[in-house]
Amino acid sequence: MVLSGVFPPLTTPFASDGSVSLADLKHNIQQYNRTDLAGYVVLGSTGESVLLTKAEMEGIFGTAKEAAAREKKLIAGTGAESTAETIALTKRAAELGYDAALVKTPHYYKPAYKPDVLIAHYRRVADASPIPLLLYSVPQFTGIALEPPEIAALAEHPNIIGIKDSSGSVQRVAETIATVPDAFQVLVGSASTVYPCLTIGARGAIL
């Protein structure tokens, strides 16, 4: 699957009582459908997935799929702390018809997440996933950055097709692009680095 262009991470609308407003989510997506956006990321960091219940996440995934125009690619944020939960969420996104999954690094037990552990986690998810995976490195939230050697190792997996790099480091993105195959798609998640990263080979942006 080819990913290029801009994919906004959708916000999750809330009603005044704190409940998720699926009607407002549907309205927002219908407005976005009128633009040239390449697609949408559902339940990424901007969607506040870490603050939602499983039932709320299920409703958001379903509503977004129903509301999105057919030509828009849909990427589901499915990263969780456990490998098993990440696999379960990814499989559910696939059942609903999502095109790819965006999987952030687990991070709660930071000292344990050495490169080999992270690589094993992503490979297990990729092996079990019916849809392609995008790695998600967002160190400002997780405290863990995927380094170019780890990314290069994971890029060898046929079901891992790219990465969203939100580190804000043009140098890190450049090093990643230099170490991965041409088919591996690097998307940028930091607004201040989009233009310079596009000039060195990034395919698009999630922001």
- Which of 72, 73, 104, 164 is catalytic? The answer is 164
Tens digits of per-residue pLDDT, 155-186?
999 999 999 999 999 999 999 999 999 999 99
**Which residues lie below 8 Å from residue 8, measured CB to CB, with a gap of 6+?**
32, 37, 40, 41, 206, 207
Alpha carbon distance 65, 40 (integer Å): 10
Tens digits of per-residue pLDDT, 79-127?
999 999 999 999 999 999 999 999 999 999 999 999 999 999 999 999 9
Tens digits of per-residue pLDDT, 30-53?
999 999 999 999 999 999 999 999
Tens digits of per-residue pLDDT, 9-20?
999 999 999 999
**Considering Cα of 75, then 25, then 44, then 18, what sign does the dihedral take?**
negative
- Asked about 26 being catalytic, the answer comes back as no
Residue with structure tokens 């989510």? 25
Alpha carbon distance 89, 153 (integer Å): 24
Q: Give the model's confidence band at 153: pLDDT under 50 very low, under 70 low, under 90 confident, else very high.
A: very high
Give per-residue burial for 139-169: e unless 16+ CB within 10 Å, then b: beebebbbbbebbbbbbebebbbbbbbbbbb
| pLDDT for res 47 | 97
- Domain 5-205: which topology? TIM Barrel (3.20.20)
Give per-residue burial for 62-101: e unless 16+ CB within 10 Å, then b: ebbbebbeeebbbbbbbbbeebeebbebbbbbbebebbbb
Alpha carbon distance 167, 83 (integer Å): 23
Token digits of residue 87: 């696999």
Q: Where are the domains of the chain?
A: 5-205
| pLDDT for res 129 | 99
| pLDDT for res 186 | 98
Q: Give the model's confidence band at 191: pLDDT under 50 very low, under 70 low, under 90 confident, else very high.
A: very high
Give per-residue burial for 107-135: e unless 16+ CB within 10 Å, then b: beeeeebeeeebbebbbebbeebebbbbb
Token digits of residue 16: 């005044």
| pLDDT for res 23 | 98
Alpha carbon distance 67, 51 (integer Å): 23
